[in-house]
């Protein structure tokens, strides 16, 4: 396959190109498998390949229409050779383009299916998202267009059979072959992918991706309701009202006397003089403040832990998302795949320093929020970096990321 054919095929495989090489599973293994399989499935049912398949079917129909028009011109009492030749040229060009595009679709589709088979063989017992991608909008659109193409091809054959004309049989036959082949290949490919995903790996349900309900650490636990006795005890009858016993009379309280003030005459007639003591700074020994004894004035070193137990690297900027992709302005960043239905392709970035964690929402679809230690929740503004204190949680959509003290981790 030449360089031009390889470039054309790469346009049909898109982001799945890194996972198509034969040695790709050995370089990625289990860690890359949850990211590779959804990308392969999404690329197979994506808009690029679906649009190319629809174009191949339309070009085949146009070739059939051109052939029919050319034969009709030759069957006229006063045939127009120029129009007939022009129609045949258009039909031949459209048919060649349809066949070429169909071959590239078949070749790229075979590469995607084979790569998907290899990635599933890495760990077929581990659940992974994939089959549900086929039932989303791109996959459903692909099946609908495949059905329309098959029905149109059958309609062309039926029309040729009803009319019985040679021109209709030639034109309708060319169009029917192109439409039926394109629709059948698209539908069978979707079904083969779905069967492979269902048989080779158990699929995790949507509930498996949902986080546990948030419970504040300081909130008291609800006690179990007390057991009710089967036979209630009899209640004591209320006592009759009786007046309170009389209180003993209180002796009279002495009246307060006028307080004595400095400068006035003392009780003995002498004038009071305050005593002036010498300063004792020289004899005073300073001692260290022990109120912070045993504590560290420095904040604990933070750590970021994902909901599945993975831990982000400290001192680096990490992009989180279903298929995180760094921009040109992102230098020395790491990417971590989080396969969750509410997480965007590149959802947020985490920057971990020695004492603080900074989070930036990268204009995600479902947004990002921070749940503080006291349970207060605030939504992050896109592309605005904000600090998150230890003990808080970050919600990427509904996916939970914890910010904890590294000393508290095992």
DSSP for 144-198? HHHHHHHHHHHHHHHHHHHH--HHHHHHHHHHHHHHHHHHHHHHHHHHHHHHHHH
260-307: pLDDT as tens digits: 454 444 455 455 454 544 444 455 454 444 444 444 456 678 999 998
pLDDT of 39: 81
Do 33 and 119 contact (CB within 8 A), yes or no? yes
In terms of Cα–Cα distance, which of 174, 207, 169, 17 is closest to 108? Answer: 17
Q: What is the Rg, in whole angstroms, of the alpha carbon atoms belonging to the chain? A: 40
Residue range(s) of every CATH 2.60.200.20 domain in the chain: 302-408
- pLDDT above 80 (res 253): no
Distance CA 357, CA 354 (A): 9
3 state DSSP class of 402: strand
Torsion from C-alpha of 73, 75, 77, 78, nearest 10 degrees: 30
pLDDT of 196: 75
Do 348 and 362 contact (CB within 8 A), yes or no? yes
pLDDT of 42: 82
Q: In sequence order, what are the residues at sequence separation of 6 or more whose Cβ sits closer than 8 angstroms to the Cβ of residue 321?
A: 335, 337, 338, 343, 344, 345, 346, 347, 348, 362, 364
36-84: pLDDT as tens digits: 777 888 888 888 888 889 999 999 999 999 999 998 888 888 778 888 8
Regarding predicted confidence, which is higher, 153 or 330? 153
Strands (DSSP E) contained in 47-138 are none
Quick one: tokens of 218? 């300081």
In terms of Cα–Cα distance, which of 60, 61, 45, 54 is closest to 108? Answer: 45
Quick one: tokens of 253? 């309280």
| Owner of token pair 């049909």 | 12
Q: In what order do the strands lie in the sheet with 357-361?
A: 333-337, 317-321, 348-352, 357-361, 386-388
143-188: pLDDT as tens digits: 899 999 999 999 999 998 898 888 889 889 999 999 999 989 988 8
- pLDDT above 80 (res 208): no
Do 393 and 370 contact (CB within 8 A), yes or no? yes
The CATH number that domain 302-408 falls under is 2.60.200.20
- pLDDT above 70 (res 248): no
DSSP 408: G
User: If you count them, how many residues does the chain have?
Assistant: 410
Element (H, E) at 360: strand 357-361
Distance CA 192, CA 409 (A): 45
Model-level pTM?
0.48
pLDDT of 273: 52
pLDDT of 243: 58
């Amino acid at each position: 396959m030449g360089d031009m054919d390889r470039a054309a095929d790469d346009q049909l495989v898109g982001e799945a190109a890194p996972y198509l090489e034969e040695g790709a599973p050995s370089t990625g293994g289990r860690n890359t498998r949850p990211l590779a399989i959804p990308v392969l499935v999404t690329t197979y049912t994506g808009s690029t390949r679906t649009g190319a398949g629809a174009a191949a079917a339309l070009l085949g129909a146009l070739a059939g229409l051109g052939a029919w028009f050319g034969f009709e011109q030759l069957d006229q009492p006063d045939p127009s050779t120029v129009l007939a030749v022009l129609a045949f040229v258009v039909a031949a060009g459209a048919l060649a383009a349809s066949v070429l595009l169909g071959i590239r679709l078949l070749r790229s589709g075979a590469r995607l299916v084979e790569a998907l088979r290899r990635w599933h063989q890495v760990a077929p017992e581990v659940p992974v998202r994939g089959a549900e991608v086929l039932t989303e909008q791109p996959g459903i659109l692909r099946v609908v267009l495949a059905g329309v193409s098959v029905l149109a091809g059958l309609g062309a054959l039926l029309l040729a059979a009803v009319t019985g004309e040679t021109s209709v049989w030639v034109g309708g036959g060319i169009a029917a072959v192109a439409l039926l082949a394109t629709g059948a290949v698209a539908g069978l490919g979707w079904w083969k992918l779905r069967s492979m995903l269902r048989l080779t790996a158990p699929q995790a349900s949507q509930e498996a991706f949902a986080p546990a309900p948030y419970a504040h650490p300081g909130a008291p636990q609800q006690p179990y309701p007390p057991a009710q006795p089967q036979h209630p005890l009899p209640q004591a009858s209320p006592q009759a009202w009786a007046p309170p016993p009389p209180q003993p009379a209180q002796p009279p309280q002495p009246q307060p006397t006028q307080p004595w003030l400095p400068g006035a005459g003392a009780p003995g007639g002498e004038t009071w003089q305050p005593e002036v003591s010498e300063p004792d700074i020289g004899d005073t020994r300073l001692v260290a403040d022990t109120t912070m004894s045993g504590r560290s004035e420095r904040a604990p070193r933070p750590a970021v832990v994902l909901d599945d137990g993975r831990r982000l690297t400290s001192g680096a900027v990490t992009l989180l998302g279903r298929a995180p992709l760094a921009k040109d302005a992102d230098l020395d960043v790491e990417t971590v795949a989080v396969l969750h239905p509410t997480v965007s392709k590149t959802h947020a970035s985490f920057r971990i320093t020695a004492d603080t964690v900074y989070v930036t929402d990268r204009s995600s679809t479902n947004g990002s929020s921070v749940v503080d230690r006291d349970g207060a929740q605030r939504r992050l503004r896109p592309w605005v970096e904000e600090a998150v204190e230890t003990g808080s949680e970050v919600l990427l959509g509904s996916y939970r990321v914890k910010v904890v003290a590294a000393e508290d981790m095992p």
